[in-house]
Structure 1
Amino acid sequence: MERAYSFFLSVVVLQLYFLDTCISKNISTDQSALLAVKASFTLNSSHPLTQNWSSQASICHWIGVTCASRHRRVRALNISNMDIVGTIPPHLGNLSFLVSLDVSRNHLYGEIPKDIGNLRNLKELILVSNQLTGSIPFSIFNISSLETLSLAYNQLSGSLPVDICHRLRRIKSILIISNQLSGHIPIGLSNCTDLYDLSLSYNHFDGTIPPEIVNLERLERLNLGGNHLQGSLSSSPNHWRANLQLLNLGANNIRGVIPSSISNSSNLKTLYLYDNKLSGKIPNSLGDLRQLEYLALSRNNLIGNSQAKCFCLII
């Protein structure tokens, strides 16, 4: 009996040894990746990362680094708004347990490395307000766990894949305002069943707005202003969901009338249709939008006065 117990104890100790060795090796992989990230930045001697990100301290104590409590791998990296100059290195793709990556509001330039597509556990990718160029790597659209894709205020070009939501099956928020994207608004966005925020304003998108997008059940924000979109607003009542809170189609080339059925979006707080080619009467049904705070209809060919009561009325 004692021999059996002794053998069992030896096996447990051996397993713990290999587990500890494996964890140490994995932590070493994360550390090497982050040190490569640091090397890609231009940092002065007084920058917080200069001394803090050092092999002399555990990476779980580094500024902006969060480790998982169980396996002690890097789970989140948030170095936003730290006045960082440099590029995004491919080594970030080695942080295989990363769930959230936020490097927004810095001075990062160059292209987004395709290696970020290796982050199969990633839920949040936030690269807002940098000087990133080139197209969005196709590999990013293969991260099936991604819920937030936030790339606004950069200089990214190219188009979005037609089957974007077949790939990003869990996506909830797509924020790519103020870039240089072009092409059509993908009809595949209508398959994003969990999407609540679609913000693609101030790009170079053309073509028409797929009506199926407006019909998304959970959509709260549809922000497509400042593009080259054409067509008309559908009058079908099924195309205006009650939970839509923001609709911005301003500064496009949309023609036709404002459908009275838009009042079916009873929770609308912001409605921007300014600077288009809309014509006809402003429907009195806008007065039924009791939550409306901001209404902008200027620079169209509209006639009549809306009865909508709002904080900011621009016609």
Structure 2
Amino acid sequence: MPALKKIVVQNFRNIAFQELYFSPNINCISGNNGEGKTNLMDAVWYLSMTKSAFASSDRFNFRHGTDTFAVSGTYSMNMGPDARFSVQVDGKGEKKVRRDDKAYSKISEHIGVLPIVMVSPSDTSLVSESGDDRRRFVNSVLSQMDREYLAAMQQYNRLLFQRNRMLKDGTFDESLLDVFDERMNEYAGVIHGKRDAFVKNLLPLVAEHYATLSGGRETVSIDYKSDLKKGSLMELLKASREKDRIFKYTTAGIQRDDFLFEMNGFPIRRCGSQGQQKSFLVSLKFAQYELMKRRYGFPPMLLLDDVFDKLDMSRISNLLGMVAGSDFGQIFITDS
């Protein structure tokens, strides 16, 4: 399994320069607020996903006053020699991702090479915010495990962007819309099917981990909502074509999917305490971890950023018991 042995961070967020070596087992990172613990975790994440776990754009990742940043890491690899991965981004937004100093032809080829799971305080947006964050979570997990899913998402989003641009420009070419709709339908079917299977596989694991954390005091569930449960995307887009023309964007499709998190049959964002919500989110990420471990045949790296916040002592004790087991690989834990 890949394990990070050494990381070098330059001009990334508030880190001017840092070179660190890690254990293949548990790594504990402590320090006061604002000293860069979370930014270090984000640098580790960046090496796996080629983007920040927190910033929507790379322009927020440059240290103040700099116009380039770089992150590199040396990993022990599963059944092979050590490998060095690096990501460098300049002020023009050009990103170079390399393995052993050889650039990837496509950045997407790197996704899934270094499997990773993160639990952080920002996960609360999965409960409290819109479906965008929940879709991003599902996309992040499935893109690491399934290259067909990643390719389908890239193609669907490209076609969706072009279709929306045409609608916004007021160009309403029926024959061209037919072409867009037919091609989007193919990719939407793949995405919907894989998301549906993912939720069905994920839910039992979430419920199991939540029961362990909470002592079985509540039950949790996930409800996958999708326009495609009403019919194919072709049918939906044909029925909404006039609406799309009026609103000037595509009003149906898998870009509207949502994943509703519930506790005892009610939305957890409304009825769950902060501790219950945090327990659910930890359980969700541990379930992701288990699915990825099954997919790869080895455990992914696990980042636990400020994970003990908002948990009572009994839940903290249960959590520590879970990560202390032999089922986990390399772990990074931050705490103040």
Greater share of residues in helix: 2
TM-score, normalised on structure 2? 0.26
Q: For the pair shown, which has the larger CA radius of gyration, 1 or 2?
A: 1
